[in-house]
Amino acid sequence: MNLSGMRVFDHADEVDVIVVGSGAGGAPLTASLASAGLRVVVLEAGPNVEPGDHTPDETEAVDIIWMDERLSGGETPTAFGPNNSGRGVGGSTLHWGAFTPRPDARDMSFRRETGQGVDWPISPSELMPYVARVEQYLGVSGPSNYPWDPDRRYALPPVARNASSEMMMRGCEALGIRATDAPAAVISQDWQQEGFGLRQACVNCGACHQGCRNGAKVSMDTSYLPVALSRGAEIRADSTVHTIETDKSGAVTAVIYRRGGVDHRQRCAMLVLSAGGIETPRLLLHNALANSTGQVGRNFMAHGGVQVWGRFDQLMRSYRGYPSSIISEDMVRPPDAAFVGGYLMQSLGAMPLTFATTLIRGSSLWGPELTEALEQYPYMAGLGINAECLPSDSNRLTLSDEVDELGVPKAHIRFTAGENEKAIEAHAVTTMTNIVSAAGGSDILVLPRSAHTLGTCRLGETADVGVVDADGRSFDIPNLWICDTSVFPSSLTANPGLTMMALSLRTADAILSTTW
């Protein structure tokens, strides 16, 4: 993004707020705080680039991905890298899928409904106005009639359907499953973005996950961050925070970050960690902060994301068009469930290397059978899910014995899908296999995977169950706040992006209403 004319703070200045991370957690909040007159510095580990600099080439597009190594363990290790965390001004919104279902009220009151999992310490009715604000500000595209919420209205008509979309619609219709155009933070028409300027309408280039080159897809560098900058916030790229300093009372006084091989100290009155579900708890554990009850790193969750692909007679070439343009919420609470919670379904587009990786990790193919399967790529179309994942004390992030270049121990994440997750996956595989088959697909391929980094610093009513309170404020350190997906107490079936941005605006309001 264009950083010219940006206000620059001195290292000797004590700024009001430092925000670590510039993604969906850090950016909306920064815009709000700066608009309220606070002096805010955002420290982003990755570089600053222009949208037009992105490339659809998957090998090179990892420059917008957090590629520092993490150790993944447990019985169902989750994949990191391009599968979740981002890097660069804009954070994970540079590569996110922009699939924006709203959080389901039932999912936020999960324990009250099911007796399992946990409830959010925030009522859905309190969060929903923030969700609507985000949608209106960013321009979300969606259907005129949303079957699961008939009163809902989207600012823009849906983005174009592709071959996978038509397949999913066909299959769902044959089975009596409701499906429609997905809510997407991708503008289907040119949109004047307040604080930024023109975002061009989506041209169906298909490379959302490699970085949107014309501003059609929402990312923080073409929305909230330019607003924040225009209101006086500073965005410091290539700056990796590794140390948090506190005074005798335990309050945060400064952070130390590495930029260009040199350590810098920036003083602050308040710190907001928005570094994501892995880097935030890693930073806290490394600095032994905010962890008096041992909650940091616990209850790591990853959404179930199993995919079912089928082979079709026609060329599907699902790399064309918005990758997830169809949604079904019919399975958020399936009537025949042998589990609690449920899942969302979406149509899938996949780039060739992503397809190859998922295929290999999910199968035992090698040799001519592998290359033949890869050559079927253009004929394949599929569906995927985003499934509830119950929090579990044994799914946990800890620090490993290995350190990175900055001397910070690498994160070690143990994740084992529980019985409920397995039951959801089995249900989803059956449902999606039926849909793909009904749509005419053959040679069904089931590719298990999980996605997103949730939990690890969750919101809680008390310090015994959470790291931060319902507002996102640390129980231990009054001038430390956390605002990223690590605070999610339950996973929700909705993909986290929209909820995250809403939560970010809410956290900003909480900060502004606090005496400090």
421-450 positions binding other proteins, by CB under 8 A: none
Give the contacts of 266 (CB within 8 A, at least 6 positions apart): 9, 11, 15, 18, 41, 43, 254, 255, 257
Angle ∠(446,107,417) on CA atoms, nearest 5: 40
Reported residue count of the chain is: 516
From the list 59-67, 108-116, 122-130, 248-256, the region that binds other proteins by CB under 8 A is: 59-67
CB 455 within 8 A of CB 496: no
- By rule CB under 8 A, what string of x and - marks binding of each residue 82-101 to other proteins? xx-x----------------
From the list 75-83, 303-311, 332-340, 497-505, the region that binds other proteins by CB under 8 A is: 75-83
Q: Which of 202, 208, 306, 498 binds other proteins (CB under 8 A)?
A: 202
At 110, which amino acid appears?
Answer: F
**Residue 371, interface with other proteins (CB under 8 A)?**
yes
Q: At what angle do helices 124-138 and 496-512 cross, to 10 degrees?
A: 110
**Residue 316, interface with other proteins (CB under 8 A)?**
yes
**Residue 80, interface with other proteins (CB under 8 A)?**
yes
**Residue 368, interface with other proteins (CB under 8 A)?**
yes
Q: Where are the beta strands (DSSP E) in 182-251?
A: 191-193, 197-199, 234-236, 240-246
Q: Which of 3, 7, 36, 72 binds other proteins (CB under 8 A)?
A: 72
From the list 313-321, 387-395, 465-473, 476-484, the region that binds other proteins by CB under 8 A is: 313-321
Three-state DSSP class for 228? helix
Question: Distance between CA 305 and CA 106 in Å, rounded?
Answer: 20
Q: Which of 6, 7, 36, 73 binds other proteins (CB under 8 A)?
A: 73
**Residue 253, interface with other proteins (CB under 8 A)?**
no
Q: Which of 52, 129, 197, 407 binds other proteins (CB under 8 A)?
A: 52
Q: Which of 6, 370, 429, 510 binds other proteins (CB under 8 A)?
A: 370
CB 240 within 8 A of CB 219: no
Question: Distance between CA 41 and CA 232 in Å, rounded?
Answer: 9
Q: Which of 36, 155, 251, 374 binds other proteins (CB under 8 A)?
A: 374
Of the pair 95, 458, the CB lying nearest other proteins is at 95
Residues 446-505 that bind other proteins (CB under 8 A): none
Question: Distance between CA 272 and CA 338 in Å, rounded?
Answer: 40
**Residue 294, interface with other proteins (CB under 8 A)?**
no
